[in-house]
Every structure is written in structure tokens, then in C-alpha cells.
Homo-oligomer: A and B are copies of this chain.
């Protein structure tokens, strides 16, 4: 990619965060006009942003109808987790091979922040940080394609959680992240892979439970918040 103008990129980031953090729920319509107005850009650019989000599976665009936040089906959800297990297992193997002590420090700091956010019941921060933990792992694997695919997949998992899971709960348990770090330090590939597999099984279990419905907030208001946060 790397071809976006500054405005389209900030709109992309803002929309993506809003979806991931479950500030706009699956099924919410995303009219081009409204978004363009919020972010101060023309429909043409909005279309590009929506197209990208569609390609990443975060938005559904059927022709001639309003784009909307994607509502993953149960089948899609299972597929996403299946692929995620395969990719994250590979990440774990690569990390153990290329392990550097400073990685441990970085990851530990993240986990500590995660823990703090959880204590304070700051859902948005909590979701963001547990996502970032996995993004960092992908980065440490040293394979940028793996990073791109996992970035997509982790985002979609947030959406799955929003659809089938308990609302506003983060998908990851802090303890499980700590066990992963310990496994990396022990340089034991089998242990690290099985820690990751166990973690993802738990994430899937948490994600696929029934959920209560909630009052959706007005779209324009939510977008205004996210726009401000990104500038």
C-alpha cells in the first residue's frame, strides 16, 4: 500500500479503531456522505477508505447499498481462528529462534499497561493494548507479511467478539500473555507453541459465547471523537 494521502489515512485509522474498539457495532450503516462530512473529504476518498476496510473484512459493501460494519458469521469466525492459530504458531517459532532479551522488556511493559487498564475498567484502552501485544509479536517475528495478515486477523477477531462475545470485554487474558513471555525466555519452541495454542483456544472460547444487545450510540458523535483522537 503506502499510497494514501494524509487525510484518507487518518480517516482509515479512525474508522478502523472505532470498529475495533466496538464504538460502532456490526451492522451499523456507513453512508459515504456522512463520513465525508465528518472527516472533511469528498465521497471519492471515502470510497477508497471503505474499499480498503472492505478488503480487510471489517466492512461489508454490497453494490448500490450503504456500506456497513461487517457482521461476521459463525462460520467466518471459526475460519478466522483456524488461520490465526496457524499463523501465530509460526510467529512463535520465529520469535524463539530470533529472540533478544530486550523483546522481553518491551512485552512486559505492554502486559503491565494491559493489567492497569483492566484494573481501571478502561475497556477501550484494554482492547487496544491486547491487540497491540499480538501486533508486536508479529513484528518481532521479523516477517512483515505475517504482520500484515495477523493485523487483519486480530482486527477481525475484535469484530467477532463484538458480534458473538460479551460486549466491551477484551479478548485476551493478561496471565496468558505472561505465560507466553516466560515460554519465549525459556527458548523452548514446543512450550511456546502450546502456550500460544492454549491462549488462542481460550480467546476463541471467550469470543464465541452469546451476547446481550445494547443501545448503539449515534454514528456522527462517535466519529467526531475518533477524529479528534487521531489528530
**Which residue numbers of A lie inside 8 Å of B, CB to CB?**
1-5, 48, 51-52, 54-55, 61-63, 76, 79-80, 82-83, 85-87, 89-90, 94, 143-146, 149
Give complex CA distance A167, B87 in Å.
31
Copies in the complex: 2
- B1, B5, B90: which contacts A86 (Cβ < 8 A)? B90
Residues of B within 8 A of A52 (CB): 51, 55
- B3, B80, B90: which contacts A83 (Cβ < 8 A)? B90
Interface CB pairs A-B, < 8 A, 27: A1-B54, A1-B55, A1-B61, A2-B62, A3-B54, A3-B61, A3-B62, A3-B63, A4-B63, A5-B63, A48-B51, A51-B51, A79-B143, A79-B146, A80-B145, A82-B94, A82-B143, A82-B145, A83-B143, A83-B145, A83-B146, A86-B86, A86-B87, A86-B89, A86-B90, A86-B146, A87-B87
B146 touching A149, Cβ below 8 Å? no
